[in-house]
Structure 1
Amino acid sequence: MPNDSAMQMSAQVLAEAAGAAMFGRDPASQGLGMTLDEIRPGYARMSMQVRCDMLNGHRTCHGGFIFALADSAFAFACNSHNHNTVGAGCTIDYLAPGRQDDLLTATAVERALAGRTGIYDVDVVNQDGLLVATFRGRSHRVAGTVV
């Protein structure tokens, strides 16, 4: 019978494999310049630099790009258990603007996982630690595995 440490290591190895496989076939996140900085079971951290083509008419980062970063971190966190999982719903609150050349980081944390449903909170901060947005996602597990 494996001990807790071995099971945690196995879960971490699986999370990393799932993250690498998903990122490798995710042209949307790659095309926006996102990086998968860290992944572990129920957790993902991703970053994206705000480019000039991501600015809106106010010369701040379009909310859709901030949402995309948060949504991607959510997706990686909820698929980190190697079960195919999709978003079932979410909300986002924008708290401060992103600016050109900002490095935005989204950290997704699993808050609850029961049966096929999970709840994940994602905070998006800039390089100074300023909270730019907060996102809550609800996941639903579907058939199959990531790897």
Structure 2
Amino acid sequence: MLEAKKIPIKMLSQDAFSQWLGIEVLEVEKGRCKLAMTIRKEMLNSMNKAHGGISYSLADTAFGFAANTHGKYAVSIETSINHIEALNEGDYLTAESVIEKVNNKLGFNIVEVKRGDELVALFKGVVYRTSKDWEEKD
């Protein structure tokens, strides 16, 4: 089985959308992952603010990466987000996902999206944990 710290790196290498977002992995440990990205012009909506899907996607990626650090393929079954602050071009965001509760088949995560120390979005997610292990050769 692949070790926890290597799983998000492997996942990112196979994730064209997260690469397009410019996501970078900052920290990883079992049950926790912290990512970062910068808002670009092509990510803005008609109000010249970051489209809500951008912070959602960053949080969702952090959620997925953290959920998989337990070594089993984990897939999202329910997510939600609260957008707290508007985001602008050039904003540098971090998203930290922490697994709040894990049992045999389900994992419950909270993701905080921040601009510096300011909380800008709060994401909640539930994953289904499969029996398939992450392997080096996957």
Q: Same fold (TM over 0.5)?
A: yes
**Cα offset, 1:143, TM superposition:** 3.4
Corresponding residue SS for 2:11: helix
Matches within 5 A, 1:1-147: 14-127=3-116, 129-147=117-135
Deviations 1:80-121 (A, max 9, x none): 111000001011000001111000100000000011101000
Provide structure 2 residue ranges, at least 5 long, that are not aligned to the other structure: none
Assess if the C-alpha contact under 8 Å between 1:87 and 1:139 holds in 2: yes
**Cα offset, 1:58, TM superposition:** 1.1
Provide structure 1 residue ranges, at least 5 long, that are not aligned to the other structure: 1-12
In proportion to residue count, which structure has more strand?
2
* TM-score, reference length from structure 1: 0.88
Corresponding residue SS for 1:28: helix
* TM-score, reference length from structure 2: 0.93
Assess if the C-alpha contact under 8 Å between 1:82 and 1:145 holds in 2: yes
**Cα offset, 1:23, TM superposition:** 1.5
Give the counterpart letter for 2:71 in structure 1.
Answer: N
Q: Tell me the percent identity.
A: 31
Assess if the C-alpha contact under 8 Å between 1:85 and 1:140 holds in 2: yes
Give the counterpart letter for 1:56 in structure 2.
Answer: N
In proportion to residue count, which structure has more helix?
1
Computed over aligned residues only, the root mean square deviation of the Cα atoms, in angstroms, reads 1.4
**Cα offset, 1:45, TM superposition:** 0.4
Give the counterpart letter for 2:125 in structure 1.
Answer: G
**Cα offset, 1:145, TM superposition:** 1.7
Assess if the C-alpha contact under 8 Å between 1:44 and 1:108 holds in 2: yes
Tell me how far apart the structure 2 counterparts of residues 51 and 33 of structure 1 sit (CA, whole Å). 9
Assess if the C-alpha contact under 8 Å between 1:21 and 1:146 holds in 2: no
Corresponding residue SS for 2:57: helix
